[in-house]
Amino acid sequence: MLGCALVGLLAGILSALLTLSVYAAEDAFQKIPIHWMWWPAIGGLAIGLGGLVFPQALGVGYETIGNLLQGNVTTAVILGVLLVKWFIWAASLGSGTSGGVLAPLLMMGGALGGLEAMFLPNEGAGFWPLISMGAILGGTMRSPFTSIIFAFELTHDANVFLPLLVGSVIAHAFTVLTLKRSILTEKVARRGFHLTREYAVDPLELLYVREVMRTRIAALPAADSLRDVLHSLNTKHRQSQRLLPVIDTSGRLAGVITRGEIRAQMEKFGDDVLGKRLEEIMRPHTIEVYPDEPLRAAVYRMAEKGVTRMPVVERESRQLLGLISLDDLLKARTRHLEEERRRERPIHVQNYFAGNRSNRRPPEAETSAYP
């Protein structure tokens, strides 16, 4: 297990260096004063030169991987795979030439394991190359469990689970602590896309509309005239409500109207509009939300329709239950953040042994001398 921990640490170091080398090569190509269309050709030239020096570094390398796992390779081959494959792989990906990640990582991880087998205890042919392959894969791609299952599929040996777990997790931990992103996400981030590896559940997915909707609202009867309801809308506790649901005699939502629309009607038609019933001037087609929907659905609907307020109705009966606005959604988010702060707040333990408390003056006495 100590040997596996060392393999994981060395694999983490190599994983970090591999990732840095790929993007160092990409940065170097960007500094070349020629058009980017020539970069893959230069990368191909680097691959060809590496193949002349060490032909085994070319291709997918499955045969080389198999030889590493069987222990049928010399030290020269191990060094050639590790160094030459590293060079041509970084030059290839950095230049934009089409190339993969999985097989080259397995090759270089196996080569690193071949070097480690020279000084680590003999646990059988191919043991240390296998552990190193899994650790390199887990550290470079930030997927330790994938690397464990992948290595198990190669060997069908359940005894390697624990050694692979130790090596892969340590390699993964090293790259997480030393690199901001993995080799797979660095290029995406360089293109200006935001990336996150946060696995927390969105609070808007946990809370439902019924938990944050407002139920003390003004609902206007559809059969009443605008003159009948205008005075009640100007009362103090109703002036802040901008979206006004219109309901029928059974309490079902018939439509909506806003204060801005009422003002526009009065400016256009004058006092003549005061005699009209609300069902004549309301909007019958409404954008609504249901009480059993998560807040995420409400947010998406607001963004899609370009609104900030929606009535809440029952699914079947369309009975009006309340209103929900963007402010209510923000309050729900704020409530979740406050709960997180309380949960993460450390316990402050006062040191009662710093001195004899009986000889100390009370806080009032200590500060009373100051103005």
Residues with Cβ within 8 Å of 220's Cβ and at least 6 positions away in sequence, in order, are 229, 244, 245, 246, 247, 257, 278
Residue that finishes a domain, picked among 136, 167, 190: 190
Q: Looking at the domain assignment, is residue 198 inside a domain?
A: no
Whether the predicted pLDDT of 310 surpasses 90: yes
Summarize pLDDT for 320-339 with one digit per residue, the tens: 999 999 888 887 777 766 76
Among 162, 190, 218, identify where a domain stops. 190
Residue 186 and residue 44 in one domain: yes
pLDDT on residue 361: 47
Structurally, the chain folds into a number of domains equal to: 2
CA distance 104 to 110: 10
Instruction: Give the residue carrying structure tokens 């100390």.
Output: 360
- The predicted-structure confidence for 233-243, as pLDDT tens digits, reads as follows 766 556 678 88
Residue range(s) defining the domain that contains residue 256: 205-330
- How much is the average pLDDT of 206-226? 87
158 and 70 in one domain?
A: yes
206 band by pLDDT with thresholds 50, 70 and 90? confident
Q: Do 210 and 186 reside in the same domain of the chain? A: no
* Residue 324 sits in the same domain as residue 275: yes
Residues 209 and 267 placed together within one structural domain of the fold: yes
Instruction: Give the CATH number, domain containing residue 127.
Output: 1.10.3080.10
- Please check whether residues 86 and 223 belong to one and the same domain: no
Residue 350 included in any domain: no
Indicate whether 197 belongs to any domain.
no
CA dihedral of residues 136, 142, 143, 145 (deg, nearest 10) = 80
The tens digit of pLDDT for each residue in 23-62 reads: 898 889 888 888 888 888 998 898 899 889 888 888 777 8
Let me know: does 160 contact 128? Beta carbons within 8 Å. no
189 vs 195 pLDDT, higher one: 189
Residue 338 resides in a domain:
no
pLDDT at 146 over 70: yes
Is the same domain home to 186 and 209?
Answer: no
Would you say residue 336 lies in a domain?
A: no
Q: State whether 185 and 209 are in the same domain.
A: no
Residue 365 resides in a domain: no
Residues 46, 98: one domain? yes
CATH of the domain at 237: 3.10.580.10
Q: Are residues 231 and 175 in the same domain?
A: no
Report the alpha-carbon distance of residue 217 to residue 276 in Å, rounded. Answer: 23
Write a three-state SS string for the chain. Answer: CHHHHHHHHHHHHHHHHHHHHHHHHHHHHHHCCCCHHHHHHHHHHHHHHHHHHCHHHCCCCHHHHHHHHHCCCCHHHHHHHHHHHHHHHHHHHHHCCCCCCHHHHHHHHHHHHHHHCCCCCCCCCCHHHHHHHHHHHHHHCCCHHHHHHHHHHHHCCHHHHHHHHHHHHHHHHHHHHHCCCCHHHHHHHHCCCCCCCCCCCCHHHHCEHHHHCECCCCCEECCCEHHHHHHHHCCHHHCCCCEEEEECCCCEEEEEEEHHHHHHHHHHHHHHHHHCEHHHHCECCCCCECCCCEHHHHHHHHHHHCCCEEEEECCCCCEEEEEEEHHHHHHHHHHHHHHHHHHHCCCCCCCCCCCCHHHCCCHHHHHCCCC
Q: What's the CA gap between 47 and 87, in Å, rounded?
A: 8
Q: With bands split at pLDDT 50, 70 and 90, how would you rate the model's confidence at 193?
A: low
How does residue 196 score in pLDDT terms, banded at 50, 70 and 90?
low
Are residues 181 and 212 part of one domain? no
**pLDDT of res. 110:** 87
> Is position 135 within any domain?
yes
Same domain for 181 and 37? yes
Distance CA(327)–CA(246), nearest Å, equals: 22
Is 102 inside a domain boundary?
yes
Domain boundary among 134, 155, 190: 190
* Average model confidence (pLDDT) across the chain: 82
Question: Residue 161 carries which side chain, given as an amino acid letter?
Answer: F
pLDDT value for 186:
81
